[in-house]
Amino acid sequence: MAVISLCMISTITGIGKALSGYIARDYHGTVKVTTKLSFKTGILGVIILIVFGLFSLFNKHNFTETIFFFTAACIFLPYTILCRFEQILVGFEKFKELFWINTTSRFLIFLATVIAIVIFKQNILAYGLIQLLFPTLLFFIFFLYSIKFLNNSKVDEGFLNHSIILSMVGIGNAIITPGLAMYLNFAVGAETLAIYSIANRIPTQLSGIVKPIMNPISIHLAKRGSLDYNAAIMRFLPISIIIGIILFIITFMGIEFFGMYVIGEQYIPALYYAKYFSLPIIIIPALSLLLRNTVIEKNNKAYTISVYARQLFTIIGYILFVSKYGLLAVALVNTFGVFLHTLILAIFLNVNIRRSLTK
């Protein structure tokens, strides 16, 4: 999974971040153009995965790893590109449909994982393959559904420049997370890596409900003028924090009382760390609003500085604390990194509002 995340850079990931904004502004043709472009550039990622697979087969003689890499190469392009159906539906304000799609797909993926790991007692490879194959099938179905709403061929001429900026800034995130996974696998072994993957995956899956909650608010507010939009986002930040606290409490209680029933006995220690990995959920609703605002307003300066600051903080935190405190340090560094990211974006937003008022 870590290698796949690194290879995603080849698909120009910034396109997905900006796609809903293009749809909202009636540039429906941008979807077709960007999808074709990502399939072309993403071939590089496929080649890299094949190379990793051949290395595992002939140098490491690890047949299990080889199966995973070759499977990943086969589904890499649809897995990493067709997930943009979410941004298409957001742009069309199909929030009800998106809510049911997200809820259903997450439940099905979660159920498939439970069946494989708990009932059939499969290993971490089975977990990884399920996380690839099942979502890919769902992405394909939902992407076909979403493009039915496209009704013109207009293309935003500045899409490539904007998308490349977002992609280049986000490269650090694409490296840090999988890089950490590779480091844990090398330094402390596959068992700790498995615990990290599950502990991080549980809150990640649950925090996925944040977007369906915050996207309708953000897109609705974006229809206002720039000043009104920015001011409305600033006023809504305290409410978003309250929403985050409620989501964290629900997540914490779910892990505490039901976690032991959905993972194998060998991974029970992951539940302890999952509670700490859930802490960013408190801030994520506010961050979601601010990021959407930054992308729609094309405030590349705020986006760049905030993301780089978070990446730098995360790297330094990992270097200083992970070797001594392990997964607990990873969780806390991630939490403070999310807080720093949110704080910087809020400061930039406040500055922009003040500048607009003085004009």
User: What DSSP designation does 281 have?
Assistant: G
pLDDT per residue of the chain (359 residues) written in tens, 0 to 9: 667 777 888 888 777 777 887 887 788 998 989 999 999 999 999 999 999 999 988 887 788 788 888 988 999 999 999 999 988 988 888 888 887 888 888 788 778 777 776 666 666 667 777 778 888 999 999 999 999 999 998 888 777 777 777 777 766 666 666 676 666 666 666 677 778 877 887 667 666 677 667 877 877 777 777 888 899 999 999 999 999 999 899 889 888 887 777 676 777 888 888 899 999 999 999 999 999 888 888 788 898 899 889 988 988 988 888 878 888 988 999 999 999 999 999 999 999 999 888 86
d(CA 269, CA 320): 24
* pTM of structure: 0.72
What does the alpha-carbon distance between residue 98 and residue 90 come to, in Å, rounded to a whole number? 8
Give the separation between CA 66 and CA 53, rounded to whole angstroms: 5
Query: How far is Cα of residue 96 from the mean position of the Cα atoms in its chain?
Result: 21
Q: Using the 8-state DSSP alphabet, how is residue 12 labeled?
A: -
Tokens 């990884």 -> residue: 128
Rounded Cα gap, residues 92 and 110, in angstroms: 28
Pick from 338, 340, 351, 93: nearest CA to 234 = 351
pLDDT of res. 210: 75
Q: Which two tokens stand for residue 267?
A: 């991974």
CB-count burial class (<10 Å; 0-12, 13-18, 19+) for 354: exposed
Closest residue by Cα to residue 330 from 196, 239, 237: 196
The CA-atom distances, in angstroms, between 265 and each of 117, 167, 179, 261 are 10, 39, 27, 9
Closest CA to 16 of 84, 79, 89, 93: 84
